[in-house]
Amino acid sequence: MKVLLSLAVALIALALLFAWGGVDPGDVLGTLAEADLRLVALAFVVQGLIYVFRAVRLRVLLRGAGGADVSIRGLTAASAAWILDSHVLPAKVGEASLVLHLSRVGVRAEHGLIGLVVSRLLDLSTLLFVLGVACSAMAVAGDHPQLPWLQSLGLFALAAASVLGVVILRGEHLVRAGRGIAVRALPRTLGERSGRFLTRVEDALRVLPRRSVLTAAFLSLPVWACVLGVYAALGMGVGLEGLAAADLLFGASLAVLGSLVPINGFLGFGMLDMGWAWGFAAVGVPESHAVATGLAFHALYIVGVGILGAVGHAQLLSWRR
């Protein structure tokens, strides 16, 4: 049922985009056919580096929390499999698969949950920081007078990134509050089991050194340099031309933020494509071109995610044997 629902969401999103941009599937296929293969190949190479940097960051967090010392190879495979699951499974339920994949390489569930939650909070904080910087740079440059809210959006994004930073550093207090709510709100048996598990998470977060968190935050910069680099390279590869660096960061950041909304359809089609189309249309790209390049980008990006994710799953299976 969930698969059918995700397919329906994807079809509705595509229909809305085609109607808004005045394009059809043939325009998207034509954009794909004219893609610059050198930029596409470069994007695929950088896409592979994303998982390596994610693995290094995970290792820092797991070591700091007292978890198992897993090799970069195992963590890279787990990261690649996780990202594929988060794109394929509906309603973002694939996000939780990182805990399962990490358990296959010897990481306990409470440590895997810390790796997942802290990594995603760092991802969101870094993305908001990049969006804030891009908006501020665009506002200062004054190239988009039709967007008078750029500076306000930039300041809001920077403030939100700062708040998330504080949340990350004080994570054990939030888990303690969540544990109390779970114990009271859930049925007795489930509440007790949840309480025991969250107690282990809280203990692991308490011993997580601030130095490890700051190191992981620093490592988030190359992670997101690669993520946004892939978006920019594939975007230019499918025909986005003549845009300033801040414009590319703005459009790519909105696309990523759209992908975080848990109502995407099959293979992630939906909010990511709408974020891309709206973001690049806002900076002057014709609506039809913004839609066509966004869908062409998404198709190529999913190919990379699928290939690397399949390799990651295969590595995890061989690791388990």
Tokens of 89: 């499974």
Domain count, the chain: 1
Q: What CA–CA distance (Å, rounded) separates 129 from 160?
A: 8
pTM: 0.83
Q: Report the pLDDT value the prediction gives residue 48, as an integer from 0 to 100.
A: 92
Q: How confident is the model at residue 55, as a pLDDT?
A: 93
Q: Report the Cα 105 to chain-centroid distance in Å.
A: 22
- Quick one: pLDDT at residue 157? 92
Tell me the CA distances in angstroms from 118 to 47, 166, 212, 273, one per residue in order: 21, 12, 11, 26
Look at residue 197 in the predicted model and tell me its pLDDT. Answer: 54
- Averages of pLDDT over runs of 10 residues in the chain (321 residues) are 62 71 78 87 92 93 78 91 82 76 85 81 88 90 85 91 78 58 61 58 64 87 91 88 86 85 62 85 86 88 90 83 49
Residue 46 pLDDT: 93
Closest by CA position to 248, among listed 218, 208, 279, 224: 279
Position of tokens 């699951």? 85
Res 186: pLDDT: 59
Write out the residue range of the structural domain in which residue 48 sits. Answer: 2-320
**Three-class DSSP labels, the chain:** CHHHHHHHHHHHHHHHHHHHHCCCHHHHHHHHHCCCHHHHHHHHHHHHHHHHHHHHHHHHHHHHCCCCCCCHHHHHHHHHHHHHHHHHCHHHHHHHHHHHHHHHCCCCHHHHHHHHHHHHHHHHHHHHHHHHHHHHHHHHHCCCCCCCCHHHHHHHHHHHHHHHHHHHHCHHHHHHHHHHHHHHHCCHHHHHHHHHHHHHHHHHHHHCCHHHHHHHHHHHHHHHHHHHHHHHHHHHHCCCCCCCHHHHHHHHHHHHHHHHCCCCCHHHCCHHHHHHHHHHHHCCCCHHHHHHHHHHHHHHHHHHHHHHHHHHHHHHHHHHC
